[in-house]
């Protein structure tokens, strides 16, 4: 064989080998490019998802902040209303306490009057009892004196001259 043919064969083989290597390289590059595109698409999807999650978390945080603010305002109104009610209750309690003190003072005075009147009633009852006892004694005395007077009249009538 001729050197020219060998050279041409070698050159053709080299070209075939280079073409095969290029094909393998291109296939591998295409596969890697597809994998890179998929990885890039997955990374972009992950970034979009993380961004959506952040936006959702931010929206949720904003809603929670608004709810917290409404709750805080409501709490402050409730506390203010309770403080006003407490003031009204304290004023009412003071009025009731004053009324109770006045009633207790009147009751004490009435009890003192009641005790005084009770003592007077007891004294008067003792006087009535004594007077009743005196009346009983006077009646007995009157009955005794009437007997004596009757006895004296009989004695006088018996000792008197006949008329």
pLDDT in tens, 102-121: 999 999 999 999 999 999 99
C-alpha torsion sign, points 128, 131, 135, 136: positive
Average pLDDT, the chain: 87
**Range scoring the smallest mean pLDDT among 45-54, 83-92, 94-103, 118-127:** 45-54
When pLDDT is averaged across residues 64-76 and rounded to a whole number, the result is 93
Q: At 59, is the secondary structure helix, strand, or coil?
A: helix
pTM of the model: 0.42
When pLDDT is averaged across residues 70-83 and rounded to a whole number, the result is 93
Tokens of 136: 């009983």
pLDDT at 20: 74
Q: How confident is the model at residue 1 (pLDDT cuts 50, 70, 90)?
A: low
From its phi and psi, is residue 86 left (phi > 0), alpha (psi between -120 and 50) or beta? alpha
pLDDT at 40: 81
Separation between Cα atoms, residue 153 and residue 150, nearest integer Å: 5
Separation between Cα atoms, residue 133 and residue 65, nearest integer Å: 97
């Amino acid at each position: 064989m001729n050197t020219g043919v060998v050279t041409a064969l070698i050159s053709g083989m080299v070209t075939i080998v280079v073409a095969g290597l290029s094909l393998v390289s291109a296939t591998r590059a295409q596969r890697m490019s597809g994998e890179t595109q998929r990885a890039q698409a997955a990374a972009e999807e992950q970034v979009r998802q993380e961004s959506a999650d952040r936006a959702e978390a931010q929206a949720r945080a904003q809603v929670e902040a608004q709810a917290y603010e409404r709750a805080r305002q409501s709490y402050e109104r409730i506390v203010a209303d309770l403080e006003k009610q407490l003031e009204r209750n304290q004023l009412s309690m003071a009025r009731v306490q004053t009324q109770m003190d006045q009633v207790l003072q009147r009751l004490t005075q009435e009890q003192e009057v009641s005790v005084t009147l009770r003592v007077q009633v007891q004294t008067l009852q003792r006087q009535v009892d004594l007077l009743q006892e005196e009346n009983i004694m006077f009646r007995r005395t009157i009955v005794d004196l009437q007997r004596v007077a009757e006895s004296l009249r009989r004695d006088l009538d018996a000792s008197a001259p006949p008329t």
